[in-house]
């Protein structure tokens, strides 16, 4: 590496999903010094939405929000020398690039714009054994972004790259990393994973949010990355929220599985991470180790599956179960045709002797799905309305009848990395191909890790919510969900590790009792992570669960009482205070 390389670079993030705070781009550019600004606009559901957009208009398929943000901020970014890297290209990175170049020309901004593509495998899906999906997009790595930045691009637009690649690419360009710099690449992957979801790293969705300052308008995160891949996570001064070992730990546990975090450039060892509170709103990440990447590349597949519709009934007062049974029987008999799938859910939100009508009411929800739109269209929901004067007392619906809407299903696929033509179109129009890593290999699967055996006495216990001492972060992994659980006091991890096993998790969360659950240990983060197979059906766009992306599942777990040692909830000592204990 050249001796003139900067000690560190500052990479900010201004978007965690398509629909995140529009003003964040300007806030990040105005808020302080940055070298790069990234934006993550893509998710499994987003690719389905963009796929449907493309069906209607072949010129669509990218995140239009980003184009509007650049109308406001492209000139500001160029003036400040901040280079922008985003995956807003979605299914049409070339189309977004054309629109950006037209924008720059129209306002007289001299900006070099490059794009990365080759991820779209839709036309080749059948020959690659992926079926006939609506969208098929391989997760590309960071070296196309690196080449674009090496060529002087001010803006790099990508399609479906891994979220962390938006951060890894700038770091690899600045420090001249090559594919064999595995530890440095892994360190940047960790930094990228922390900042990719925006304000989730600064206090958003954080279990202990009541302890954080300024929980109103949260700031977005920044990764200061050094030449060896180590980093410091921070945010602009005087912005809301906080950056602590706790907020960073929570994000590290988001949507992961075992200790090995696979990516196209490197397999990152999550069990090698060391976190340290390095000052106010500054958390250092060090010690990250990388291994060779896998031989295969993951592909995001979305299929159109049919039409979905739903109705929700309000049941009030006495005889809730009987009212639900009456309506379900009447409705099933009255339907003109039976849909392929029908699911009922009765949510007992009511309470006895309620002082408000809402508190005396439960909700009965019916969701139907069918490839034939006619079977689940307005005729379905209108059937419920026709029963309004002929069913249970107090019949009420939460909304008028609707026509239903198309839905899709997600599934992952895998292809040999050499089958993916990773390309970068440089600002001068030259197109280069990026070869997959020559180090790729078969990566062993992480085995399930049960709780340690042997009895242990932690003294007297009290049955109180798990969340009294433990935080959690949960999310969707296709049709599966993960729940990462951690303790802030290192002295509590041995108890967590011995106590929270798969059997107890299933006891605390009866909805997953019959499902396959995997357990992984991350002692360096004082955490255990669970992956629950199939709890979300075939992905967020298809499933009818109350919490379709499992975002609240971790908080449900935290609310459940378990026998916690009384000593853990005594007044904290200095060594276990929120500031000092978050040094790992």
HEC per residue, 152-173:
CCCEEEECCECCCHHHHHHHHH
- Give the integer Cα–Cα distance in Å for 194 and 265: 17
- Give the integer Cα–Cα distance in Å for 171 and 173: 5
Label residue 453 by pLDDT band (50, 70, 90): confident
Query: Is it the case that residue 61 has pLDDT exceeding 70?
Result: yes
Q: Where do runs of H (alpha helix) occur along 245-400?
A: 245-252, 320-334, 378-386
| pLDDT, average across residues 385-410 | 92
Q: Which one has a higher pLDDT value, 560 or 45?
A: 560
Name residue 397's beta-bridge partners.
313
Per-residue HEC secondary structure of 57-118 comes to CCCCCCCHHHHHHHHHHHHHHHHHCCEEEECCCCCCHHHHHHHHHHHHHHHCCCCCEEEEEC
Label residue 164 by pLDDT band (50, 70, 90): very high
| pLDDT, average across residues 102-121 | 97
Predicted local distance difference test score (pLDDT) of residue 539: 66
Burial state string for 64-74 with b = 16 or more CB within 10 A and e = fewer than 16: ebbbebbeebb
Average per-residue pLDDT in the chain?
94
Q: Would you call 285 helix, strand, or coil by DSSP?
A: strand
Label residue 405 by pLDDT band (50, 70, 90): confident
Q: Are 163 and 40 in contact (CB under 8 A)?
A: yes
Q: For 20, which DSSP code?
A: S
| pLDDT, average across residues 345-358 | 96
Query: Is it the case that residue 39 has pLDDT exceeding 70?
Result: yes
Predicted local distance difference test score (pLDDT) of residue 573: 36
Q: Are 196 and 40 in contact (CB under 8 A)?
A: yes
Predicted local distance difference test score (pLDDT) of residue 546: 79
Q: Are 309 and 380 in contact (CB under 8 A)?
A: yes
Break the chain into its structural domains and give their ranges: 8-300+414-434, 302-409, 461-581
Query: Is it the case that residue 574 has pLDDT exceeding 90?
Result: no
Query: How many CB atoms neighbour CB 183 within 10 A?
Result: 19
CA angle 8, 11, 12 (to 5 degrees): 145
With pLDDT > 70 as the criterion, what percentage of the chain qualifies?
96
- Give the integer Cα–Cα distance in Å for 559 and 464: 9
Predicted local distance difference test score (pLDDT) of residue 497: 97
Name residue 342's beta-bridge partners.
368
Q: Are 237 and 279 in contact (CB under 8 A)?
A: no
Predicted local distance difference test score (pLDDT) of residue 402: 87
Q: Which two tokens stand for residue 24?
A: 């964040």
Query: Is it the case that residue 581 has pLDDT exceeding 80?
Result: no
Q: For 225, which DSSP code?
A: E
Name residue 412's beta-bridge partners.
300
- Tell me the per-residue pLDDT of 306-343, one tens digit each, with 9 for 90 and over: 999 999 999 999 999 999 999 999 999 999 999 999 99
Q: Domain 302-409 is of which CATH architecture?
A: 2-Layer Sandwich (3.30)
Predicted local distance difference test score (pLDDT) of residue 541: 56
Query: Is it the case that residue 575 has pLDDT exceeding 90?
Result: no
Q: Which one has a higher pLDDT value, 53 or 507?
A: 507
- Tell me the per-residue pLDDT of 232-259, one tens digit each, with 9 for 90 and over: 999 999 999 999 999 999 999 999 999 9
- Report which of 336, 341, 333, 334 is spatially closest to residue 310, judged by C-alpha positions: 341
Q: Would you call 242 helix, strand, or coil by DSSP?
A: coil
Query: Is it the case that residue 93 has pLDDT exceeding 80?
Result: yes
Q: Are 38 and 85 in contact (CB under 8 A)?
A: yes
- Return the C-alpha torsion angle 264, 43, 558, 358, nearest 10: -170
Predicted local distance difference test score (pLDDT) of residue 572: 47
Label residue 582 by pLDDT band (50, 70, 90): very low
- Report which of 67, 79, 103 is spatially closest to residue 30, judged by C-alpha positions: 79
Q: For 200, which DSSP code?
A: G
With pLDDT > 90 as the criterion, what percentage of the chain qualifies?
86
Predicted local distance difference test score (pLDDT) of residue 542: 60
| Packing angle of the helix pair 64-80, 24-31 (nearest 10 deg) | 10
Label residue 577 by pLDDT band (50, 70, 90): very low
| Packing angle of the helix pair 320-334, 378-386 (nearest 10 deg) | 130
Rg (CA), the chain: 25
- Tell me the per-residue pLDDT of 125-145, one tens digit each, with 9 for 90 and over: 999 999 999 999 999 999 999
Query: Is it the case that residue 5 has pLDDT exceeding 80?
Result: no
Query: Is it the case that residue 189 has pLDDT exceeding 70?
Result: yes
- Give the integer Cα–Cα distance in Å for 210 and 207: 8
Predicted local distance difference test score (pLDDT) of residue 545: 72
């Amino acid at each position: 590496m050249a001796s003139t390389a900067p000690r560190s670079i500052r990479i900010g993030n201004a978007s965690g999903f398509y629909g995140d705070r529009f003003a964040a781009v300007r806030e990040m550019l105005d808020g302080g010094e940055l070298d790069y600004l990234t934006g993550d606009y893509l998710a499994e559901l987003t690719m389905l939405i963009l796929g449907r957009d493309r069906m209607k208009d072949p010129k669509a398929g990218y995140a239009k929000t980003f184009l509007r943000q650049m109308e406001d901020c492209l000139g500001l970014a160029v003036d400040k020398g901040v280079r922008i890297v985003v995956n807003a290209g979605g299914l049409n990175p070339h189309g977004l690039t054309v629109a950006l170049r037209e924008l720059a020309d129209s306002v007289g901004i001299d900006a070099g714009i490059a794009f990365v593509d080759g991820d779209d495998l839709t036309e080749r899906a059948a020959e690659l054994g992926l079926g006939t999906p609506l969208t098929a997009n391989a997760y590309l790595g960071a070296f196309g972004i690196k080449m674009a930045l090496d060529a002087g691009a001010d803006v790099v637009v990508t399609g479906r790259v891994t979220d962390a690649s938006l951060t890894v690419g700038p770091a690899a360009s600045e420090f001249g990393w090559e594919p064999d710099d595995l530890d440095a690449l892994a360190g940047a992957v960790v930094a990228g994973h922390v900042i990719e979801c925006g304000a989730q790293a600064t206090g958003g969705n954080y279990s202990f949010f009541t302890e954080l300052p300024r929980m109103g308008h949260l700031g977005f995160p920044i990764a200061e990355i050094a030449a060896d891949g180590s980093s410091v996570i921070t945010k602009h001064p005087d912005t809301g929220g906080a950056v602590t070992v706790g907020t960073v730990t929570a994000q590290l546990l988001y949507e992961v599985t075992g200790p090995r975090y696979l990516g196209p450039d490197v397999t990152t060892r999550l069990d090698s991470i060391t976190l340290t509170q390095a000052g106010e709103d500054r958390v250092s990440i060090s010690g990250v180790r990388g291994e060779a990447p896998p031989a295969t590349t993951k592909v995001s597949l979305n299929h159109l599956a049919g039409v979905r519709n739903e109705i929700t009934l309000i049941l009030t007062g006495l005889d809730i179960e009987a009212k639900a049974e009456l309506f379900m029987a009447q409705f099933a008999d009255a339907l003109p045709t039976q849909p392929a799938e029908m699911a009922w859910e009765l949510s007992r939100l009511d309470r006895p002797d309620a002082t408000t009508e809402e508190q005396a009411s439960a909700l009965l929800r019916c969701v139907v799905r069918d490839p034939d739109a006619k079977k689940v269209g307005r005729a379905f929901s209108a059937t419920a309305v026709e029963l309004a004067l002929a069913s249970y007392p107090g019949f009420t619906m939460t909304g008028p009848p609707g026509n239903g809407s198309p839905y899709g299903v997600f599934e992952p696929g895998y292809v040999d990395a050499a089958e993916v033509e990773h390309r970068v179109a440089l600002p001068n129009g030259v197109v280069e191909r990026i070869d997959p890593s020559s180090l790729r290999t078969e990566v062993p699967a992480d085995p399930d890790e049960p709780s340690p055996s042997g009895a242990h006495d932690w003294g007297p216990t009290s049955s109180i919510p798990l969340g009294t001492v433990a935080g959690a972060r949960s999310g969707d992994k296709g049709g599966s969900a993960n729940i990462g659980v951690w303790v802030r006091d290192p002295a509590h991890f041995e108890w967590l590790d011995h106590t929270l096993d798969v059997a107890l998790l299933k006891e605390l969360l009866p909805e997953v009792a019959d499902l396959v659950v995997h357990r992984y240990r991350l002692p360096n983060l004082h955490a255990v992570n669970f992956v629950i197979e199939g709890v979300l059906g075939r992905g967020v766009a298809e499933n009818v669960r109350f919490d379709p992306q499992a975002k609240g599942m971790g908080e449900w777990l935290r609310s459940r009482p378990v026998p916690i040692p009384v000593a853990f909830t005594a007044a904290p000592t200095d060594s276990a205070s929120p500031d000092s204990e978050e040094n790992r």
